[in-house]
């Protein structure tokens, strides 16, 4: 389950930046497998990947419905899809450079001459004559890819498109994560609101009991004021938690591209935490995470940019040809005697440009070093996210267990103090303190359950996201 050691070969990629055919080497991973763990939330499987459709593992049909709606409607996902389509179009643009460029031109002119401007009787030129001329031509040019520069540009465009595809998958995964966690947070907010409303009823009962005791002369006015203060504080908490429920509902609606009308109702309770059946190996994560795939494609594309910049220093050959015809009448356009053909070969070699081409090579090499460092940082961040999520699985399980014990004891203590207070054997302060402890324990337990669900979502995302982070799905 646990990922322990790794060494990122991306840190050593800088030594390969000077080669024309730059390709990043695979990341070297060193893995130590821990002993099988024993608990109620994992099943040991060192080499097994987690569920591909991890949203379904929460066994919450409404969550699945929300995720599917977001994948179709979310604005970030649709924008990422548009960027991917644009990147695919750039591939076609780059591919067109390998083919000849053919252009057509045409010109028709008519010149009119006259000795006098107008004939007073007829309104037409007197003694005028006209001269009509037409020119038509077709030109073609083609640059042979002697050094592979055009192929490099084509391959770079393809890598950019693959990176955009991974970005699209990353957007789908991110929105799936946000929808899931917002849904869990909305349920938590509802449960906390219901807890506050129940506590308010309990405090109002305590206030009524205190008032009766005060009227009987058993309790003092300070006890009544303390009870009233607790009720008022509880009402303030209810108002705050109602606001939080509405805000989370609106946030979820925005993710679904709906109007934020606070119309989504939370479920009655949080879903059970699904059993984690394996986290896979670190090397598998490198081939599944969309952000790593995108960073790797951009790193390779930047290596090709260095090649392209260097090949711009080499001579370039272009072949130009044309076919044109001219005549004084349209019917002579297709007259073979009037056709003129031309064919020329051009050789260009940069001689002096102020050093801009060499400076561009140095610039692209610097960008390559920056991309290599960025890729290495992305890999390290990915491992950090997985390690933190795996560690949190155990720590949050321990926290939830302790909070359940705390709540059980707090409930028993509150029940006993309520009886003793009714019998006049305990003070109002003792009762309010017991109620506060029970409220705190129950609230923390709800939050701990929510955090475990959210952490499980983060773990699935850190491990690649299953089908929700698959670049081949959704296009």
More confident: 150 or 182:
182
| Cα dihedral sign, 266-268-269-275 | negative
Is residue 249 predicted with pLDDT exceeding 90?
yes
> Of the spans 188-197, 216-225, 269-278, which averages the highest pLDDT?
188-197
Is residue 170 predicted with pLDDT exceeding 90?
yes
- What's the pLDDT at 165? 94
Q: How far apart (Å, rounded) are the C-alpha atoms in residues 6 and 290?
A: 20
- What's the pLDDT at 1? 39
Q: What is the gyration radius of the CA atoms in the chain, in angstroms?
A: 37
CB distance 179 to 66 below 8 Å:
yes
Q: How far apart (Å, rounded) are the C-alpha atoms in residues 406 and 239?
A: 27
DSSP state, residue 51: P
Report helix angle 356-422 to 149-215, nearest 10.
20
Q: How confident is the model at residue 246 (pLDDT cuts 50, 70, 90)?
A: very high
CB distance 357 to 313 below 8 Å:
yes
- In 182-302 the beta strands, taken as DSSP E runs, fall at none
Q: How confident is the model at residue 38 (pLDDT cuts 50, 70, 90)?
A: very low
- What's the pLDDT at 335? 53
320 membership: H or E segment, kind and range: strand 316-327
DSSP state, residue 227: H
- What's the pLDDT at 125? 54
CB distance 103 to 74 below 8 Å:
no
145: left (phi over 0), alpha (psi -120 to 50) or beta: beta
- What's the pLDDT at 71? 95
Q: How far apart (Å, rounded) are the C-alpha atoms in residues 390 and 374?
A: 24
CB distance 86 to 165 below 8 Å:
no
Which residues, including other chains, have CB under 8 Å from residue 144's CB and lie 6 or more apart? 317, 319
> What does the pLDDT average to over 222-249?
92
- What's the pLDDT at 99? 74
Q: How confident is the model at residue 47 (pLDDT cuts 50, 70, 90)?
A: very low
Q: How far apart (Å, rounded) are the C-alpha atoms in residues 364 and 163?
A: 19
**pLDDT tens digits for 259-299?**
999 999 999 999 999 887 765 665 677 778 999 999 999 99
Range with lowest mean pLDDT among 163-172, 187-196, 311-320, 434-443: 311-320
Q: How far apart (Å, rounded) are the C-alpha atoms in residues 406 and 395?
A: 16
- What's the pLDDT at 216? 80
- What's the pLDDT at 143? 72
- What's the pLDDT at 42? 43
CB environment 122-156: b (16+ within 10 A), e (fewer): eeebeeeeeeeebebbeeeebbebebebbbbbbbb
β-strand partners of 116: 126
Is residue 17 predicted with pLDDT exceeding 60?
no
Residue-averaged pLDDT of the chain: 79
pTM comes to 0.78
First and final C-alpha spacing in the chain: 32
- What's the pLDDT at 302? 92
Range with lowest mean pLDDT among 55-69, 187-201, 231-245, 344-358: 344-358
**In the chain, what are the domains?**
9-97+151-313+355-469 (1.20.1600.10), 99-142+315-348 (2.20.200.10)
Residue 268 token pair: 């009655």
**How many residues does the structure list for the chain?**
475
Is residue 358 predicted with pLDDT exceeding 90?
no
3-state secondary structure of 135: strand
Instruction: Tell me what percent of the residues of the chain surpass a pLDDT of 90.
Output: 43
Is residue 169 predicted with pLDDT exceeding 80?
yes
Residue 70 token pair: 């977001």
- In 335-422 the beta strands, taken as DSSP E runs, fall at 339-348
Sheet holding 101-113, edge to edge: 101-113, 129-142, 316-327, 339-348
- What's the pLDDT at 120? 52
3-state secondary structure of 427: coil
282 membership: H or E segment, kind and range: helix 282-286
> What does the pLDDT average to over 53-69?
94
Is residue 366 predicted with pLDDT exceeding 70?
yes
């Amino acid at each position: 389950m646990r990922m322990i050691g790794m060494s990122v070969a991306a840190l050593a990629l800088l030594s390969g930046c000077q080669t024309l055919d730059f390709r990043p080497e695979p990341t070297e991973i060193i893995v130590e497998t821990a002993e099988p763990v024993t608990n109620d939330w994992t099943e040991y499987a060192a080499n097994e990947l987690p569920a591909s459709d991890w949203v379904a593992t929460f066994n919450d049909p409404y969550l699945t419905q929300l995720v599917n709606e977001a994948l179709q409607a979310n604005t970030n996902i649709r924008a990422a899809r548009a960027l991917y389509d644009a990147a695919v179009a750039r591939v076609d643009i780059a591919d067109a450079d390998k083919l000849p460029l053919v252009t057509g031109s045409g010109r028709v002119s008519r010149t009119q001459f006259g000795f006098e401007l107008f004939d007073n009787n007829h309104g037409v030129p007197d003694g005028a004559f006209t001269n009509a001329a037409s020119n038509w031509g077709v030109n073609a040019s083609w640059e042979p890819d002697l050094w592979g520069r055009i192929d490099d540009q084509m391959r770079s465009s393809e890598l950019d498109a693959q990176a955009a595809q991974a970005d699209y998958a990353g957007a789908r995964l991110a929105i799936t994560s946000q929808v899931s966690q917002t849904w869990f947070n909305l349920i938590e907010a509802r449960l906390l609101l219901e807890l506050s409303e129940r506590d308010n009823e309990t405090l109002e009962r305590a206030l009524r009991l205190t008032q009766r005791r005060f009227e009987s002369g058993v309790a003092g006015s300070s006890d009544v004021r303390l009870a009233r203060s607790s009720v008022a504080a509880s009402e303030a908490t209810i108002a705050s938690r109602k606001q939080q429920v509405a805000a989370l509902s609106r946030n979820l609606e925005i993710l679904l591209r709906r109007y934020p009308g606070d119309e989504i109702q939370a479920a009655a309770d949080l879903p059970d935490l699904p059993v984690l059946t394996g986290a896979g190996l670190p090397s598998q994560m490198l081939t599944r995470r969309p952000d790593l795939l995108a960073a790797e494609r951009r790193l390779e594309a930047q290596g090709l940019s260095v090649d392209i910049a260097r090949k711009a220093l080499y001579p370039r050959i272009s072949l130009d040809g044309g076919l044109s015809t001219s005549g004084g009448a349209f019917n002579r356009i297709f007259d073979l005697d009037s056709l003129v053909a031309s064919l020329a070969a051009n050789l260009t070699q940069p001689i002096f440009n102020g050093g801009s081409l060499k400076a561009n090579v140095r610039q692209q090499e610097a960008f390559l070093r920056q991309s290599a460092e960025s890729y290495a940082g992305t890999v390290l961040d990915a491992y950090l996210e997985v390690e933190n999520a795996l560690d949190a699985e155990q720590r949050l399980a321990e926290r939830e267990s302790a909070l359940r014990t705390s709540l059980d004891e707090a409930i028993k203590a509150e029940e006993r103090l309520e009886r003793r207070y009714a019998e006049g054997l305990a003070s109002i302060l003792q009762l309010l303190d017991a109620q506060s402890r029970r409220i705190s324990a129950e609230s923390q337990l709800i939050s701990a359950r929510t955090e475990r669900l959210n952490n499980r979502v983060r773990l699935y995302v850190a491990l690649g996201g299953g089908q929700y982070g698959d670049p081949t799905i959704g296009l």
